[in-house]
Every structure is written in C-alpha cells, then in structure tokens.
Amino acid sequence: MDFSIITLDNFLFMLRSAGLSVLIAVFALIGGVILGTLGAAGKISKNKVLNTIATVYVEVFRGTPMMMQITFAFLALPAVVSLFAGPVRFNPIITGAIAIGLNSGAYTTELIRSGIMGVDKGQWEAADTLGFSYKQKMMKIILPQAFKRIVPPLVSEFITLIKDTSLLSSIGVVELMKSATTIGAKYYAYLPPLTVASCIYLVMTITISFFARKLERRLAESD
C-alpha cells in the first residue's frame, strides 16, 4: 500500500475532480428542487392532467436505476436526435448533471409534497380567509413553511447527489471516483487513490452535515 504515488499533482487532480463532483451535485439539486416544487404542485393539484404528469414523472424516475437514466441520456437520446438533426454528441458533464437533476426531482417531489401536506390546516384556512389566490397562498405562506420542514432531508439528498456523481464516470466525466481509478490505472495500484478518494468524500459529507445542522438550528430559532 504505497501512498507515495499520491503526489501533490495527483492529489490536486483529485481535489479538482472533487470540486467538479460538488458543482454537478449543486446544479442537480437546484434543478431537482425546481422540478420537485413543480411536481409536488402537480401531485396535490385537483387537475387530473397535471396530477397524472407529475405521478408518471415520479414513478418513472424513482422506478428505474439512475445508471440507466444517465446512460440513456448520453447514448440513446443523441441517437434519436441524430435521426432528425444529423450526428450529434452530448456534453457528458451537462448531460450527467441534467440526468441526476431529473432523478433528484422525482425524489424531491415527494419531500416537498410531504412538507406541504405537513403545514398546519389553519394556515391554509387563514390564507383563504385573507382572500389570497392559490399562487399567493403557496408562495407567501405554504412553501416557506414547507421548506423549513424539509431542510434536513434536502441536505441528505445533496449528500447523496455528491456520491451519485461517481456514476458519471461511466460516461467519461472525470469526477472524484474517475480521478481515483485513473491514478490507480496509471500506477497499477488502486488501493491508495481509492482510500484518499473515500477520505475526501467523507470530509465533504461531514462538512456539509455540520453546516446543515447549524442552519437547521437557526431555522428552528426563527419559528
């Protein structure tokens, strides 16, 4: 187990790849929250069309492996587009971030829906009494309270997304996991770089959890 292969250049290479993992996870989470908000609104809507669309979206993306979704987006979709627009190749980083974001949106839909449904019934009635429209009611009263409730699970989702970026190595994205296996292949020694990568993942997740607990306490104090 020769850790001398983890030179400064190799370590910095892994740190840059870790930064890419976090960046992809951030964009995926933002996209997931946006899609989750729309999906949750659709699932609680009395409009059957919106409800059906939201339900199908959630079931499809929660019911199929993320690896398959990533591979489908990177390999199958370009083939379909090529039939109409000629040969095309998708950027693996952008494609991966979108695929992970779509998957996250399906899970976040249920998180936000449960947060909305958990808001006290009196808040809904008070908004109706004040004559708020549905949009005003959701934006000014319900969603702010719902998001306070789902901060912990959203943080857990973000941590999961960081780890899930390792799946993007299958389409050539040089994130943290890919950088570790690349170094391992170069020196024919996988244990040292994979150990270092595991430690970097651990430091990232512990740091995020620490700040998340502080944010959760601050939100609790503001209630």
Q: What is the pLDDT of residues 207-223, one digit of tens each?
A: 999 988 888 788 776 65
Q: pLDDT tens, 14-67?
A: 999 999 999 999 999 999 999 999 999 899 888 999 999 999 999 999 999 999
The per-residue pLDDT for 160 is 94
The per-residue pLDDT for 222 is 62
Q: pLDDT tens, 106-139?
A: 999 999 998 888 888 888 788 778 888 777 887 8
In 3D space, the residue among 193, 199, 157 whose CA is nearest the CA of residue 35 turns out to be 157
* Residue 209 CB burial class (10 angstroms; 0-12, 13-18, ≥19): middle
DSSP structural state of residue 44: H
Asked if 57 contacts 106 with a C-beta cutoff of 8 angstroms, the reply is: yes
The per-residue pLDDT for 16 is 97
The per-residue pLDDT for 125 is 80
Q: pLDDT tens, 148-166?
A: 888 888 999 999 999 999 9
The per-residue pLDDT for 116 is 85
The three-class DSSP label of residue 190 is: coil
Asked if 27 contacts 35 with a C-beta cutoff of 8 angstroms, the reply is: no
pTM across the whole model: 0.90
* Residue 33 CB burial class (10 angstroms; 0-12, 13-18, ≥19): buried
Domain annotation for the chain: domains and CATH numbers: 3-222 (1.10.3720.10)
- On the question of pLDDT at 198 being above 90, the answer is yes
The per-residue pLDDT for 150 is 86
The per-residue pLDDT for 128 is 78
The per-residue pLDDT for 221 is 63
Phi-psi region of 172 (alpha: psi -120 to 50; beta: other; left: phi over 0): left
